[in-house]
Amino acid sequence: MIPLDKNESYWLLDEELRKAFQTYTQNEFSTYPNYNELKKQIAEYSGVIPEQLCLTPGSDAAIQTLAELYVNHGREAVLPVPTFYGYESILDRVGGVTHPVYYTETDGAFVFPLADTLTALRRDTAKALFLCQPNNPLGCSIPEETIERIVTTAQESDVLLVSDEAYFEFSGKTLLPFLLQTPHLVIIRTLSKGFGLSGARVGYCIAAPEIIRKMEQRMLPWPIAHMSMFAAEEGMRRTESIRVRRQMVIQERDYFSSALSRLSGIRIYSSETNFILIRVPNAHTLADELRAKGVRVAIGESMSKFTEAKELLHSTLRMGVPSPKDMPFVLDIFSTLFPK
């Protein structure tokens, strides 16, 4: 099966990089990991100091920890939806109250709900705002001028602002410049997407040292195993090689979007990630047809429990970028089903 359903950068690592990640030979399974070197590497990569970093076993673990600290037991989180599906389930799990605000679509582009977000932030009950920048599953980024207004209002309202930047390496968009002036800002990142290391389960948070200490006290100790730590360290040593490969993913994404846009019956949405979102006449039928031919994709409306978000995602599919080897096969399927 060609795995286009989970936003894995399944072909980002070439053979040379794969071999590098397979050279782990240290016999350190009887000792607990020491994260000092990895923290130093990620801090240098991110332009911060190690005290501003918290390592997590995947970015969803960071979301869980922040939810437990700030929005559990009936406290309220503002959530622009649709968004990464993990937020809805995690907030439910910790007993938080989700205050949804809804993206809309205008002229073939998704629009962030700025007015509703600012109103929600000013409510006395709001404790946190979780942004997905760029958005999953929509693929779009929040405009800079919108971010500035959100940051100002969150700071004035004493609301924790969380920026989920899982696709930062593809978009280049980050709230990091606001970190010094915004003490209640947390940036979540992962090595799953931009480094092709989904299986290693390595994420990290960037925030003020006070927040980092709270997170590390809340989390279980030694969250990342030796082999995952080794993979992350190798990734940090090879940022330039991985950047070159990542640029290939971006080029293939744009080629994929362009090729699909020439077919009748398919609407393609702009993406700043490693996936694209498309709208088709019948998403469920198309997903079944693709699976029957060996291609897994994700159905958009399954990614939210909220009616307005499900309606926005009606008859959409989210698809990762096929490898250069798989691309002709995938496009041939679409060309057969959607002739020009």
pLDDT in tens, 224-258: 999 899 999 999 999 999 999 999 999 999 999 99
CATH code for the domain of 30:
3.40.640.10
Q: pLDDT-derived band of residue 94, with 50, 70 and 90 as boundaries?
A: very high
CATH code for the domain of 266:
3.90.1150.10
Q: What is the pLDDT of residue 18?
A: 81
For residue 322, whether the previous peptide bond is cis, meaning omega lies within 30 degrees of 0, is no
CA distance linking residue 256 with residue 286, whole number of Å: 17
> Do 138 and 201 belong together in one domain?
yes
The packing angle between helices 239-261 and 226-237, to 10°, is: 80
CA distance linking residue 272 with residue 332, whole number of Å: 24
> Do 266 and 192 belong together in one domain?
no
Q: What's the token pair of residue 281?
A: 């006449």
> Do 244 and 124 belong together in one domain?
no
CA distance linking residue 12 with residue 226, whole number of Å: 23
Q: pLDDT-derived band of residue 54, with 50, 70 and 90 as boundaries?
A: very high
Paired residues of 101 in beta bridges: 80
pTM: 0.95
Paired residues of 54 in beta bridges: 205
CA distance linking residue 181 with residue 201, whole number of Å: 30
Q: pLDDT-derived band of residue 25, with 50, 70 and 90 as boundaries?
A: low
Q: What is the pLDDT of residue 201?
A: 95
18 domain-assigned = no
> Do 264 and 219 belong together in one domain?
no
pLDDT in tens, 186-215: 999 999 999 999 999 999 999 999 999 999
CA of 239: how far to CAs of 17, 70, 169, 234, 247, in Å?
Answer: 11, 34, 11, 9, 12
Beta strands 298-299 and 316-320 are antiparallel
